[in-house]
Amino acid sequence: MTTVYPVLERVRTIGSFDTPEQSVCPGSVEKLVLRLDDGNAVEAILIGTFGPRVKKALELDAVVERRLGQRLSRRLPYLQRKIRYETCVSTQVGCALDCQFCASSLVPFVRNMTEEELLNEIASVEAEIPSGGQLKKVIFAGVGEPLMNYDAVSTVVRRLAARGVRARINTVGVVPYLERMFAERLPTELIVSFHAPNDALRTELMPVGKGYPLAEIIRVLRTAPKDMLIEAKYLMLRELNDTLEHAAELASLVAGLPLMVTLQLYNRIEERSYRPSEPAQVLRFADALRARGIRVGMLNSNIGEPVSGGCGQLRARVINPSRRSRLPVV
């Protein structure tokens, strides 16, 4: 029997994902802070997006609406059924890894979540999906390092696979557990957070990098099952890791690996001075990677800022209400 946890705080935006390529993808993001049975709080996100065909239909509607001068509502029930729901869930109560750009590092690590708590967390988010909607994917990328809670996370991944829900694990690259998940052929997609093209910069941003240098991570990624979808995530931080020299260094690092580099804009947090890269610089960076034969994707992230979209932001606000001031516009 699953439990639906009480929602301590919820923030929702409905609108468009503005990507650095200026393309627009309609969707909604709802961030929830849930109270576990022992009183601890965890956060999870429900993301609803439309695929390209529905996007085309919406664009057509917008043209017709402009010509007619009135709103069209006839497509709404059809569109609601077409929304793809994903959830991004936490795997630990707090995180011990202290990544410098992350709001999860602002509040202390408490403990791993149990397998039962993970299932309840997913059920709590599913309870928010409007009737007719279906959860398609669970992304283990909220607060916590999923591979540091491997036994519980891997069991839940297998249970999701059994009911036809895809899983995606986002890790900083904890090498022994990467080796284990590859050996076990865990049915999941994988995102590895790179965020820097060399160990000196990476360990400044992510102290855990001292234990797991990039060369080790690359070595183990070469042994991944051929059918596992792998992405290297790269947070674009203005004037810190976003120069064309960094792009060239990153391209040499991942050359020959069967992965895509996903560039992500940064959701600012008050306590840190990091700023998101200029959109034009993100495009230049992407072009520099592509010119060296690297596949590049862009993660829609602007929509996340109004909902404290960076991992741990809303939970940190709930735990410490003084974090409610607005961010300065830059």
**Residues making contact with ligand SF4 (CB under 6 A):** 95, 97-99, 102, 104-105, 143-145, 172, 311-312
- Distance from C-alpha of 150 to C-alpha of 144, rounded to nearest angstrom: 11
Minimum distance, C-beta of residue 309 to ligand SF4, in the bound complex (Å): 13
Minimum distance, C-beta of residue 238 to ligand SF4, in the bound complex (Å): 18
List the Cα angle 18/19/23 in 5-degree steps: 80
By beta-carbon proximity to ligand SF4, the closer residue of 32 and 99 is 99
By beta-carbon proximity to ligand SF4, the closer residue of 148 and 251 is 148
Residue (of 258, 161, 249, 163) closest to 201 by Cα position: 249
Give 3-state DSSP helix, strand, coil % of the chain, rounded to 5: 40, 25, 40
- Distance from C-alpha of 75 to C-alpha of 63, rounded to nearest angstrom: 14
169-195 exposure pattern, b = at least 16 Cβ within 10 A, e = fewer: bbbbbbbebbeebbeeebbbebbbbbb
Minimum distance, C-beta of residue 98 to ligand SF4, in the bound complex (Å): 6
Minimum distance, C-beta of residue 176 to ligand SF4, in the bound complex (Å): 16
By beta-carbon proximity to ligand SF4, the closer residue of 105 and 281 is 105
By beta-carbon proximity to ligand SF4, the closer residue of 172 and 254 is 172
Residue (of 314, 252, 238) closest to 281 by Cα position: 238
Minimum distance, C-beta of residue 145 to ligand SF4, in the bound complex (Å): 4
By beta-carbon proximity to ligand SF4, the closer residue of 98 and 151 is 98
Number of alpha carbons in the 13 Å side-chain half-sphere of residue 83: 24
